[in-house]
A = this chain, B = another copy of it.
Amino acid sequence: MTGSMAEPTPVRKARADGRRNRELLLAAAHDAFVAAPGAAPGAASAVSLEKIARAAGVGIGTLYRHFPTREALAEAVYESELDEVMSITDAESLLPPDEGLRAWMNRYATFFAAKRGMLDVLRGGWASGAIATPMTRQRANAVVGEFLARGVADGSLRDMAADDVTAAMLGVMLSTVAGASAEPGQTQRLLDLLLVGLRPAAPA
């Protein structure tokens, strides 16, 4: 019923303390994530949001208002890195689509593995929705879809739903990178395995 009503363009500008607190929180969170991983593999680092708020010198309520979920906070902290990962590099663009896709997945896996601190913060939430926030996942789908389209065009990839491929890739990440027992070679082997399935069936 509200139809295509445009937003009333709120005139008031954001309060200064609001933006300052946001920055403080981001900085504190970043520090916490970076410091988190910890050498001991067994240690369940897991950053506390209350500590982040305290480090930023704001109340816990303020943290939750700016970042309603842990995911939102993690996403904001790694925003620029995510932008990079969620796009196709020139090098990847020049490769044949199947190899380009493989290269991109590898970049994604590296990002994933490097941000263990981020994973620790997300821990406990992803059963209820996503390792990849809906928006982030859409972005991944877009990238995957682009590779698939090119691959279908030149015959190097099968015609598949992008979200299926994204799901398969995330599955590999979840079971080989996120788990404590991760062995790096396994991620590579499983991504290769996935790519095998994506090639067109040999003409019977």
Contacts and interface: CB of A to CB of B under 8 A. Distances in A.
Interface of A: 44, 119-120, 122-124, 126-131, 161, 163-164, 167-168, 170-176, 178-181, 186, 189-190, 193-194, 196-198, 201-202
B178 A170 contact: no
Nearest to A137: B181
Contact of A44 (B122, B128, B130): B128
A41 to B, nearest CB: 10
Give the number of times this chain occurs in the complex, counting copies: 2
Given A129-B179, A167-B190, 20 more contacts: A123-B127, A123-B128, A124-B127, A126-B127, A127-B178, A127-B180, A128-B180, A129-B181, A130-B179, A164-B186, A164-B193, A167-B172, A167-B176, A168-B171, A170-B171, A170-B175, A171-B173, A171-B174, A193-B198, A194-B197
A130 B182 CA distance: 10
A189 B108 CA distance: 23
B167 A186 contact: yes
